[in-house]
């Protein structure tokens, strides 16, 4: 299939309308990276337009240019046919484009109405908290969102905060609402709510710009899809006239071949027990027991997947296994070559020295330092360097990892902040897999990665388990991921393991236990 054919599918009807947002020949480079190369885009009124691309394809850069966070090196922007110079979010908002980001930008101690009246002021409109409250109730009714404008933001769940951001966009009179991977962190049922909102907004004449790396999401909700690859537009297609395979091909090109296999080949492994957990009780940050008497054991080369609805104790369990949270009761033991070590509450330093890798939740915040180079982010691990650092060795190790994990970076000595989110995640996973001699404990190990990279990471975990006998405890909010890589699946609900399944179980059975 040639890329040329994608261009021909632009619809006749849309062309007669004038685009609400239009970008012409945008170029943008960062130190060592050409992030956008001659990108042009037309978004028409009344459509849900998905911008799809893998990690580092330039989606975020494009969106940040439209929203005035970055200024392009070359190229022009047009809003409703008028040429516009957008150098700040204020400019974008005045032209009718509002961004809903992945991380809600709200002040915790203020109420929803107070927050929103602040952001109005920020954009140069003045409005009283009272007026904003009234508006929120009206709009909430109109869009079927139940919301109490006088509740403090810290009491809201993540999804609710996301909705507040959406309401903010309505308050700012947005003609175009842009979502920047806004659904990445949402559970499935909550995503549906957001999709419903998008459709409703569209039916009222609004336009949605949806930036995502998830093909199914783009297929489900959008009218048209524009695919970016390595900073260039591959093409724009009408969603109803395309297939997942065609979009995949556009997105990944020659790398598509890496996506084909279904389940992994598993050997039946009757290894000796490596990690034994007995009657573990752990408190959450708020003092209540988040984990209540969990016991399990993981054998050499075995992968234990922990499934469950977010917030049922998985995070606390993983943190305790990594030595970063105290266990109130119970024992964690490691068996190495016949001898047994009790690692309960022994501190992360010892645990990491013994050869346990750890992929934390909020990986970029906790597991990467943006101001340091990639090499420094790798060698910081106590297992990878003694007192003296041999930089030649580090350079070689880093370039091996960059090649192996296909990390898009100008060089191994670039600062981490020039990398895209997905590539940062790859740096972290690469480091942790390198040090996981005995075991890997992980929380959402592929969050934020595109399909090919996510699959690649899973494949590496599995092959490390098969070839080197590493065992793993992996908690994930993505049930498909758990089902794909686990030998044994344990389902957690309210801090206890409520079901244990060998692989081959159906999705429905697991879901039943998760919520039951």
Partner 1 sequence: MRLIVVKRVKTSSLHFIGIPVLSILIGLVISTLIFASIGVPPDLFIKEIISGFQSPQTLRYFALLTILGVALMMSFRASIWNIGAEGQMIWGMLAGGYVALFVAARSMYVSPSELPSYASMPGVEVLDASPVKPVISILLMDPTLGKLLMVLFGMLAGGLWALIPALLKAYLDIDEVATTLILNYVAYQLFNHLVSYNLRGLSVQARQFFRTDRMNSALLFNLIPGTSVTVQEAVMAVIFFVAIVLIYRYTTIGLRLKIIGSNPQLLRSVGVDERKYILLAMFLSGMLAGAAGVSISANPGIGKLEKIANVVSPPTMNLGYTAILVSWLSMLDIKLVPIYAYVVASLFQGSSLLQSEINTLLPELSLTGAALTYVPIGSILIVYVVLRVFADYSIRVRR
- Answer yes or no whether residue 90 interacts with partner 1 by CB under 8 A: no
Contacts of 173 (CB under 8 A, 6+ apart): 96
Binding to partner 1, residues 385-424 (CB under 8 A): 385-389, 391
Distance CA 385, CA 378 (A): 10
CB of 372 to partner 1, least distance (A): 6
Q: Which stretch binds partner 1 (CB under 8 A): 25-33, 166-174, 274-282, 499-507?
A: 25-33
The C-alpha atoms of residue 15 and residue 399 are separated, in whole angstroms, by: 47
C-alpha pair distances (Å), 38 with each of 29, 102, 158: 11, 26, 36
Rg (CA), the chain: 24
The CA distance from 351 to 27, in Å, is 47
Give the range of 46-54, 149-157, 380-388, 506-514 binding partner 1 by CB under 8 A.
Answer: 380-388
The position carrying tokens 């597991």 is 367
The verdict on 7 binding partner 1 (CB under 8 A) reads no
The DSSP element (H or E) to which 51 belongs, if any, is: strand 48-52
* Choice from 259, 341, 370, 500 touching partner 1 (CB under 8 A): 370
Q: How far apart are CA 366 and CA 352, in angstroms?
A: 16
User: Residue 463 CB, nearest distance to partner 1 (Å)?
Assistant: 23
Measured from the CB atom, the residue of 87 and 243 that comes closer to partner 1 is 87
- 460: Cβ contacts below 8 Å, ≥ 6 apart: 429, 433
25 binds partner 1 (CB under 8 A): no
Nearest to 103 by CA among 164, 51, 150, 147: 164
335 binds partner 1 (CB under 8 A): no
Per the CB < 8 A criterion, the answer to whether 73 and 39 are in contact is no
The size of the interface with partner 1 (CB under 8 A), counted in residues, is 38
- Residue 122 is a binding residue for partner 1 (CB under 8 A): no
Binder among 372, 414, 463, 493 for partner 1 (CB under 8 A): 372
Positions 272 through 331 that interact with partner 1 (CB under 8 A): 322-324
Closest approach, Cβ 71 to partner 1, in A, equals 5
104, 367, 422, 495: which one contacts partner 1 (CB under 8 A)?
A: 367
* Subset of residues 336 to 365 that bind partner 1, contact rule: CB under 8 A: 347-349, 351-353, 358, 360, 365
Letters for 51-80 (x = contact with partner 1 by CB under 8 A, - = none) are --------------------x-x-------
Q: Which two tokens stand for residue 129?
A: 């908290």
Residue 388: count of CB within 10 angstroms of its CB: 6
**Nearest partner of 57 among 369, 422, 368, judged by Cα:** 422
As measured in angstroms, the least distance from the Cβ of 62 to partner 1 is 17
Closest CB to partner 1 among residues 431, 458: 431
Q: Look up residue 419 and give its two tokens.
A: 């990398």
Task: Specify the residue, 40 or 383, whose C-beta has the smaller distance to partner 1.
Answer: 383
- Measured from the CB atom, the residue of 68 and 499 that comes closer to partner 1 is 68
Residue 369 contacts partner 1 per CB under 8 A: yes
Q: Which of 17, 259, 336, 380 binds partner 1 (CB under 8 A)?
A: 380
Number of residues in the chain: 516
Of 267 and 388, the one with the shorter C-beta distance to partner 1 is 388
333 binds partner 1 (CB under 8 A): no
Closest distance between partner 1 and the C-beta of residue 398, in Å?
A: 14
369 in the Ramachandran plot: left (φ > 0), alpha (ψ -120 to 50) or beta? beta
Nearer Cβ to partner 1 (18/88): 88
Measured from the CB atom, is 371 or 508 closer to partner 1? 371
Contact (Cβ atoms closer than 8 angstroms) between residue 428 and residue 367: yes
Nearest to 423 by CA among 464, 460, 453: 453
Q: Give the residue with the Cβ less far from partner 1, 259 or 389.
A: 389
Interatomic CA distance for residues 456 and 258, integer angstroms: 8
Q: Which residues contact 142 (CB under 8 A, 6 or more apart)?
A: none
Tokens representing 268 are 């039946």
Nearer to partner 1, 89 or 253 (CB): 89
Task: Give the shortest CB-369-to-partner 1 separation in angstroms.
Answer: 4
**Nearer residue to partner 1 within complex by CB, 156 or 442:** 442
Judge residue 15's burial from the number of C-beta atoms within 10 Å of its C-beta, 0-12 exposed, 13-18 middle, 19 or more buried.
exposed
- Find where tokens 């499934």 sit: 307
Q: C-beta of 58: minimal distance to partner 1 in Å?
A: 16
Q: Rule CB under 8 A: say whether 29 interacts with partner 1.
A: yes
Give the strands of the sheet with 21-30, arranged side by side: 33-43, 21-30, 74-79, 82-84
By CB under 8 A, residue 37 contacts partner 1 = no
* Distance from C-alpha of 509 to C-alpha of 516, rounded to nearest angstrom: 11
Kindly tell me which residue out of 10, 139, 249, 381 binds partner 1, with binding defined by CB under 8 A: 381
Nearest Cα to Cα of residue 279 among 334, 345, 316, 331: 331
Summarize as ranges the residues that interact with partner 1 (CB under 8 A).
29-31, 71, 73, 85, 87, 322-324, 347-349, 351-353, 358, 360, 365-372, 376-377, 379-382, 385-389, 391
């Amino acid at each position: 299939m040639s890329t040329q054919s994608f261009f021909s599918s632009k619809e006749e009807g849309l062309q007669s309308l004038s685009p609400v947002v239009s970008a012409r020949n945008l170029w943008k480079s960062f130190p060592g990276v050409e992030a956008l190369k001659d990108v042009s885009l037309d978004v028409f009124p009344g459509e849900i337009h998905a911008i799809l691309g893998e990690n580092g394809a330039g989606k975020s850069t494009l969106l940040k240019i439209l929203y005035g966070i970055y200024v392009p090196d070359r190229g022009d922007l047009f809003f409703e046919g008028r040429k516009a110079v957008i150098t700040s979010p204020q400019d974008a908002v005045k032209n009718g484009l509002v961004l809903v980001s992945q991380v809600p930008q709200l002040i915790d101690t203020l109420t929803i109405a107070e927050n929103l009246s602040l952001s109005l002021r920020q954009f140069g409109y003045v409005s009283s908290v009272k007026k904003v409250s009234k508006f929120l109730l009206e709009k909430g009714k109109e869009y079927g969102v139940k919301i109490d404008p006088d509740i403090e933001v810290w009491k809201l769940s993540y999804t609710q905060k996301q909705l507040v951001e959406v309401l903010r966009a309505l308050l700012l009179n947005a003609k175009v609402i842009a979502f920047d991977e806004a659904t990445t962190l949402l559970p499935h049922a909550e995503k549906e709510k957001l999709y419903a909102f998008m459709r409703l907004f569209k039916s009222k004449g609004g336009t949605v710009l949806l930036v995502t790396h998830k093909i199914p999401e783009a297929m489900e909700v959008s009218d048209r899809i524009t695919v970016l690859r390595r900073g260039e537009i591959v093409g724009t297609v009408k969603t109803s006239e395309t297939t997942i395979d065609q979009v995949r091909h556009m997105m990944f090109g020659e790398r598509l071949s890496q996506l084909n296999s279904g389940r992994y080949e598993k050997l039946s492994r009757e290894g000796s027990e490596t990690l034994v957990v007995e009657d573990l009780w752990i408190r959450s940050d708020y003092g209540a027991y988040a984990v209540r008497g969990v016991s399990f054991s993981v054998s050499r080369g075995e992968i234990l997947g922990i499934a469950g609805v977010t917030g049922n104790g998985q995070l606390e369990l993983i943190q305790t296994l990594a030595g970063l949270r105290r266990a109130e009761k119970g024992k964690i033991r490691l068996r190495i070559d016949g001898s047994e070590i009790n690692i309960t509450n022994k501190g992360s330093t010892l645990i990491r020295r013994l050869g346990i890798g750890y992929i934390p939740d909020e990986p970029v915040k906790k597991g990467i330092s943006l101001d340091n180079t990639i090499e420094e982010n790798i060698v910081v691990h106590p297992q990878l360097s003694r007192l003296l650092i041999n930089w030649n060795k580090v350079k070689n190790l880093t370039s091996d990892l960059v090649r192996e994990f296909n990390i898009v970076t100008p060089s191994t000595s670039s600062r981490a902040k020039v990398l895209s989110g997905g590539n940062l995640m790859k740096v972290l996973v690469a480091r942790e897999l390198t040090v996981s001699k005995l075991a890997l404990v992980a929380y959402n190990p592929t969050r934020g990665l595109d399909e090919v990279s996510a699959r690649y990471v899973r494949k590496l975990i599995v092959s490390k388990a098969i070839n080197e006998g590493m065992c793993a405890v992996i908690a994930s909010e993505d049930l498909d991921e758990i089902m794909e890589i686990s030998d044994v699946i344990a389902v957690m609900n309210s801090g206890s393991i409520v079901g244990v399944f060998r692989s081959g179980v159906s999705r429905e059975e697991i879901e039943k236990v998760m919520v039951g």
